Structures are given as structure tokens and as C-alpha cells.
């Protein structure tokens, strides 16, 4: 799997070689996650997301990693998330959505499974979902106020926000103890079905991401915004009805 992945992404192969050469045994794990790991990546549009685990995150280790990571950023890719094994355990209550996604669909490119034996609690998942959904909804509203009601600006706002909300829907399916599909469009369908939501506005925004057009971007925004508000209410009610997770 690692060879197949690096074959598709030569810069990723060079990064792995650079990190291995610079760090040796200090490099514990490199894990691919997100859309590239799930096979749902959009060519030339999706980032390659990596989790890199090292023995220590002292300045000496950071300096040793710098040349490989600088070349990686020159390839227009985001910096990997940097952890130590201890930091992963300590952060399980902070990043449960991301860790669930890595555990479900991550691809280990080097070393050991960094999440083996790590406990991910449903209560932490619910708290992250609510906090991030509310924060991203706040940002969506702020962005809408800045569009000047220009259709093109509203369209850009919808497209830019879609991935963040779908990542949260993916995490919420873990909370619901549901199987999480590989592809984002299937995540929307399943999540909306379980939460009793209209999936249509989310699918319409996905079509915008693929180059489609909306007859009335503002009308689509109204339905999309309403759907996100309702998603927050439904999931919180779902947890309350289920007795919550602690």
C-alpha cells in the first residue's frame, strides 16, 4: 500500500526518504489520512494530509526534519501534524474526530500504528463535534456578511466550507456508532438519513465543487445554512436521548 501511494505522489516518496534519512529510529510512524487515504481525493485540489510521529519534538528533531518538510511545502502541501506517542495519548480527548478518521481509513506509510491501544471516548467526540460545528457555522455567517450578496462570492463561500462540515459529519457517524463510508457524498447521505435531515443542499454544494452551477446561490445558502443549524440540534438531541456519552 505504501509503495502504491508514494508511486502516485512522488513528492510523498521523497518526503518519506528525507524523514527516514534524517531521523532514523527517531521516526516512529508516518500515516496518510483524509481524502487521499480514502481514495476520495480531487486531483490538483485536495491536500495530502499526514500524521508524523517521532520520539521527541525537541528543537534538534525539528531542525533535522526541516529540509524534508521544506521541500514538501514547496510541493504545495501542508505541513504534517507532528506528534510523539505520549502526545497522541494526551490529545485523544482533543482530536477525537481526526483520530477516529485516521483509525478507520488511515494508511500507515512507515512504522507502527500510532493509535494502537489509544482510547477514544464518545463523550469527547460529541464535545468536539458541537464546538467545531458551532465555530464553523459562526465563520459561515461571517463569510456570508462579507459576500455583498454577490452570487459568485456566495458560491465560493459554499464550496470553501463544504469539506469542513462533511469532515464533522464523518466524525458524527462514529458518535452514532454507524459505519463510515469512504466517499464524502455517501457520508452526507448516511448522516442526513440518520439525523433526519434533507441531504439535497449538501449534495448541491458538492456539485458546485465539481464545477456545477446554482440557479440561485443565495437560496441554496439559505437551505444549506438551515441544514447545518438543524444538524447541530439533531445530534445534540440524539445524544440527550441516548443518555449522552461520557
pLDDT of residue 126: 83
Residues 132 and 64 occupy one common structural domain: no
Residues of the chain with pLDDT under 70: 1-8, 40-46, 238-246
3-class secondary structure, 109: strand
- Pairwise CA distance, residues 20 & 79, whole Å: 16
- Dist CA 165 CA 145 (whole Å): 19
pTM value?
0.69
Do residues 53 and 81 make contact, with C-beta atoms less than 8 angstroms apart? no
- Supply the DSSP string of 13-62, one letter for each residue: HHHHHHHHHHHGGGEEEEEEESHHHHT-PPTTTS--EEEEEES--SHHHH
Assess if residue 246 is contained within a domain. Answer: no
Judgement on whether residues 234 and 126 belong to the same structural domain of the protein: yes
pLDDT at 49: 93
Give the structural domain span for 52. Answer: 2-111
Q: Does residue 202 sit within a domain? A: yes
- Spatial distance between the Cα atoms of 47 and 220, rounded to a whole number of angstroms: 27
Residue 155: inside a domain: yes
Tell me how far apart the alpha carbons of residues 16 and 65 are, in angstroms, rounded to a whole number.
Answer: 11
Which CATH number covers residue 107? 3.30.460
Average pLDDT along the chain: 89
- Tell me: do 92 and 157 sit in the same domain: no
Q: Which helix (H) or strand (E) holds 83?
A: strand 81-83
Which grid cell is 168? 464533522
Domain C-terminal end among 62, 84, 111: 111
pLDDT tens digits for range 60-110? 999 999 999 999 999 999 999 999 999 999 999 999 888 988 998 899 999
**pLDDT at res. 7:** 55
Query: Are both 70 and 177 inside the same structural domain?
Result: no
* Domain final residue pick, 111, 142, 169: 111
Residue 117 counted as domain residue: no
Whole-angstrom distance, CA of residue 141 vs CA of residue 181: 29
User: Is residue 39 located within the same domain as residue 71?
Assistant: yes
To the nearest 5 percent, what fractions of the chain are helix, strand and coil?
65, 10, 30
133 and 198 belong to one structural domain: yes
The whole-number pLDDT of residue 3 equals: 56
Return d(Cα 191, Cα 171) in angstroms, integer. Answer: 10
Question: 156, exposed or middle or buried, with CB in 10 Å at 0-12, 13-18, 19+?
Answer: middle
Count the domains in the chain. 2
**Domain termination site, one of 92, 111, 130:** 111
Distance of alpha carbon 141 from alpha carbon 225, whole angstroms: 8
**Does 116 map to a domain?**
no
Question: How far apart are alpha carbons 176 and 234 in whole angstroms?
Answer: 12
Amino acid at each position: 500500500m505504501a509503495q502504491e501511494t508514494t508511486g502516485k505522489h512522488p513528492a510523498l516518496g521523497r518526503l518519506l526518504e528525507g524523514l527516514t534519512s534524517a531521523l532514523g529510529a527517531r521516526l516512529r510512524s508516518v500515516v496518510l489520512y483524509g481524502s487521499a487515504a480514502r481514495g476520495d481525493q480531487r486531483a490538483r485540489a485536495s491536500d495530502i494530509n499526514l500524521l508524523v510521529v517521532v520520539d521527541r519534538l525537541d528543537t534538534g528533531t525539528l531542525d533535522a526534519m526541516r529540509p524534508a518538510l521544506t521541500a514538501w511545502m514547496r510541493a504545495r502541501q501542508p505541513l504534517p501534524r507532528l506528534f510523539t506517542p505520549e502526545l497522541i495519548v494526551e490529545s485523544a480527548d482533543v482530536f477525537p474526530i481526526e483520530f477516529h478518521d485516521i483509525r478507520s481509513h488511515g494508511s500507515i506509510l512507515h512504522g507502527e500504528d500510532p493509535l494502537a491501544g489509544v482510547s477514544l471516548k464518545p463523550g469527547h467526540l460529541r464535545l468536539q463535534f458541537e464546538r467545531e460545528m458551532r465555530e464553523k457555522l459562526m465563520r459561515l455567517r461571517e463569510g456570508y456578511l462579507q459576500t455583498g450578496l454577490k452570487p459568485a462570492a456566495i458560491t465560493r463561500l459554499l464550496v470553501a466550507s463544504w469539506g469542513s462540515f462533511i469532515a464533522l459529519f464523518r466524525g458524527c457517524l462514529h458518535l452514532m456508532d454507524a459505519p463510515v463510508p469512504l466517499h464524502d457524498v455517501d457520508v452526507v447521505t448516511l448522516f442526513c438519513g440518520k439525523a433526519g435531515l434533507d441531504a439535497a443542499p449538501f449534495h448541491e454544494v458538492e456539485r458546485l465543487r465539481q464545477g456545477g452551477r446554482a440557479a440561485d446561490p443565495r437560496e441554496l445558502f439559505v437551505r444549506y445554512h438551515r441544514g447545518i443549524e438543524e444538524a447541530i440540534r439533531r445530534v445534540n438531541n440524539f445524544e440527550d436521548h441516548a443518555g449522552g456519552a461520557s
